[in-house]
Every structure is written in C-alpha cells, then in structure tokens.
Amino acid sequence: MTDWKNVTDAIDEYVASLGERSVLPGLSRDEVRALVASFDFARPMTENDAIARVLEGLRGGQVHTPHPRYFGLFNPATTMTSVAADALVAAFNPQLATHNHAPFAVECEAHLVRAFGERFGYSKDDADGTFACGGAEANHTAIAVAIARAFPEVAERGLRALDADPVIYVSGEAHHSLEKGARAAGLGTKAVRRVAVDRSLRMRMPALKEAIAKDRAARLRPFLVVATCGTTSAGAIDPLSEIADVAAKEKLWMHVDAAWGGFAALVPGLRDAVRGIERSDSITFDAHKSLSVPMGAGMFLTRHKGALSQAFGVHADYMPKDQSRDPYASSLQWSRRFIGLKVLLPLSVLGWEGIEQTLARFVALGARLKEKLSANGFVLKNDTPLPIACFVDGAREDGASGKYLDSAARDLAKNARAWISMTRIGPNGERVLRACITSFHTTESDVDALVDGLVAARARI
C-alpha cells in the first residue's frame, strides 16, 4: 500500500521550509548521477525506499522554482488545490481523446476555454480552443490553424500545393517556439520574419508594413502575424490594436502569444495594456506561467469555431463519426490527460476575484522591485507594466558587462538565496539581468532582500 501520508507530509515539509533553503540545487552533478544510478531496475526496492530517494533528488537536484526568492523564468509556485487536481487526474486517469470516453472532463475544458476566451474579449458564442501541454505547443497549433485557414489545399497536398512560399511575421523579441513551429510545419525558419522593435522592445509598425510589402512584391504569401503580449526576456507588449489593424487590412491571421503576459487581461488595472487582444484570431495562454498551477497547462484559444478541426480533423474507421466535441479532432494530441482540472479547481475555489488579487500583488511587487532598483543605482532597460525588470548596474563602470552581470547573479544565489537570470534584449543583444515575480510565496521583504543582495554583491565583486 502506498503510504500517502508520507508523501503529503513531504510536500507540506517542502513548502514550509522553502524560504530557509538555498534556491540552488544542493547536490552536485556527481551526487545527482550517483543517486539516479542507485535506481537499479534489476534490484527492486521498497516503495518507501524509492520515494525517499526521489524526495532526496527533488529536494537537492533542482533550482527551487516555488522558492520565495526565485525571481526567474515563468515557473510559478503551485497552490495545493492545483496539486490536488493533478493527483486526482492521475488517479482517475480520464482519456480526453474523445467526448464519449470522458464527458465530464471534456465539458469542463470546453467550459474553461469559453470562460478564458471571454476574459480575453472573445464572445461567449464564438470562443473555442484546446488545452495544450504548453505555450510552445499552443504556438505550433496557431501556425497549423493559420495555414489551414489561409491555404486549405495544404491539408492534403502539403506545401507543394502552393505556388509561392508562405510568410510569418513575429517581433525580434518573440519566443523561439515560433521558429520551431515553422520548422515542424514544413515552412522552415526562413519563413519567419523577425520584425524590428522600438526602444520599448515592441514590434515597430512601419517595419512590419515594409516587410509585408516587400514580401508581396517578391510574390511571397504573407498569412500570419504573431504579436507577443509579454515577451520572454523583457515582458514587452507589442502594439496589439495596431497589429490588428494591419492584420485586417492585409488579411493575415493574427495570433497573440500571451503565454505569460496574458494574465494582464485578468487584472483590471492592466486591461488597457492588452487592448486589442480581443481582435486577434487566436491566443496562446499558459495557466502554468501565471496562475500558480503545475506545468503542462497551456491553452490555445480562438474566436473562430471550426478553425481547429480544419487543421486537425481526420477520419479513421475506428474513431467516432461525430467529431464535433472530440478533443482529438481539434488538437495535435490523441491520448491526453485532463489538463484543465488544475485550472478549474483553483479557479472554482478562488474565483476570478481571488486570482486577480494574487496577480495584482505580483504587479505591485514588480513595481516595488523596479523602484528599489532605480533608487539603488541600477538602470532599468525595459518598459512594461508587467512585473519583470531587466537592468544593468549603473553604479559600476563595468556594470553592463556580461562578466560582471554573471558574477552578480551567482553572488546573489550564494549569499542572498535569490535566483535571477541573465538575458539579452534588443537588436544588439544587450546583456541584462532579469528578475521576474512568479511565486506567490514572494513578499516585500524578499524583493528588498534581492535589491540589498545586489548592492552587497556590487561591493564584493
């Protein structure tokens, strides 16, 4: 019998002790390898022994993303309600390929898709979508759907059905999954135009229009523009309304990659920042980036019913004839777990209002972070209402060099138990430190400790 108490006690202990831990992995690479090698499948061990080794590995063998001082990539701390949801899904194991196999789960996801579509400004009657394992899959889905809409002949004959190459437009700061998606869709990465950005790292409209005109003159076939709402490095939000105008005029599918930044649509004070998203044809939104749920909760949303089945509907004798409500016919996946439950359960308990409160707190902590950085001689290099700061050290001559920034991030992890990353932004790939609020365990004093830690690092380096 599985000793569940042992498991839940370990989870409780992990969460309770998070703040006292180092944010970095405690085990060295060699220790991790030795621990993994101790799983000798020729010599079965007891379940408690195996779980104890797994716990040792999880405690010591990862960057602790739920840590209150993890100011890193978009990896949140998870609420226990969402963890419970994932455990229930694993135990009941509904198969979401078809409606008739798991009507409750399929209807829950459809309910969520409509609810989120509405929050982004789609009408309840139009909103459609599918859950995905993450933003990369959702972006790939967007490319597949946009191809199916623009070039229906490709479904059977592939890209050779076209007399000219299709083209996609994304900002210079867009996520790399769009290039991967273009590659996987058979378009190749050369089909992706990286449009120049302005000083705020937002797609430049004149550059977009010029690129489209140039491609049309070369008899290429522009079909998709992807706006990013919250870029990975700097949280920049492309000018969504203006991109919607261009997309309408040029008859392009407009996709918004709002994998992280889409949460702004759920915070009244930020809604202006994402105005225009409601005019998009489709949206990527990852609940696992901003809504404090476990990974693997991506969403592709669209306001065009039937668009997904145009891309993914297929027929085989062993599949149900009526595919209209079957997830497999509107998704890249066939067998699929009940992804939506880890979103539905916490949302049902907290309500939009509860979610909004947490997100508004993230935004307030982000504002405090930016203020404190500026007050302490750091120079902000990004411009976004979202809780993410890109900066260099203005109090040091070498404060923008990669070597210095790297040393600062390392010093911070060692001495202040805080994790931040280094990234590059803008057309010249300027190096910056990047700190983002992602954990609901983070408090004002953690933000202060981050800035104090950077100031202390400045003196040590």
Ligand X SMILES: Cc1ncc(COP(=O)(O)O)c(C=O)c1O
**How far is the CA of 142 from the CAs of 123, 159, 307, in angstroms?**
19, 17, 10
Could you say which residues in the range 64-83 bind ligand X, by CB under 6 A?
A: 74
Strands 388-393 and 192-195: unpaired
Gap between the Cα atoms of 113 and 276, Å rounded: 19
DSSP designation for 93 = -
Query: Is residue 263 close enough to count as binding ligand X by CB under 6 A?
Result: no
The smaller minimum CB distance to ligand X, of residues 23 and 259, is found at: 259
For ligand X, the binding residue among 129, 235, 298, 399 (CB under 6 A) is: 298
- Residue 25, number of CB atoms within 10 A of its CB: 16
Shortest Cβ distance from residue 109 to ligand X (Å)? 17
Q: For ligand X, which stretch binds (CB under 6 A), given 20-28, 63-71, 135-143, 216-224?
A: 135-143
For ligand X, the binding residue among 228, 382, 439, 442 (CB under 6 A) is: 228
Shortest Cβ distance from residue 3 to ligand X (Å)? 33
Query: Is residue 237 close enough to count as binding ligand X by CB under 6 A?
Result: no
Query: Is residue 300 close enough to count as binding ligand X by CB under 6 A?
Result: no
Strands 421-425 and 430-436: antiparallel
| The two three-digit tokens of residue 321, written as one number | 């004839």
For ligand X, the binding residue among 136, 274, 299, 436 (CB under 6 A) is: 136
Could you say which residues in the range 240-259 bind ligand X, by CB under 6 A?
A: 257, 259
Could you say which residues in the range 264-293 bind ligand X, by CB under 6 A?
A: 286
Collapsing DSSP to helix, strand or coil, 390 comes out as strand
Query: Is residue 260 close enough to count as binding ligand X by CB under 6 A?
Result: yes
Gap between the Cα atoms of 383 and 426, Å rounded: 12
The set of residues, in sequence order, having a beta carbon less than 8 Å from that of 419 and lying 6+ positions away, is 23, 24, 63, 67, 69, 70, 71, 72, 409, 412, 413
Query: Is residue 134 close enough to count as binding ligand X by CB under 6 A?
Result: yes
Query: Is residue 130 close enough to count as binding ligand X by CB under 6 A?
Result: no
Query: Is residue 232 close enough to count as binding ligand X by CB under 6 A?
Result: yes
Gap between the Cα atoms of 413 and 450, Å rounded: 10
Shortest Cβ distance from residue 201 to ligand X (Å)? 12
Query: Is residue 175 close enough to count as binding ligand X by CB under 6 A?
Result: yes
Query: Is residue 384 close enough to count as binding ligand X by CB under 6 A?
Result: no
| Biggest CA pair distance of the chain | 70
Contacting positions for ligand X (CB under 6 A): 74, 134-136, 139, 175, 177, 228, 232, 257, 259-260, 286, 298
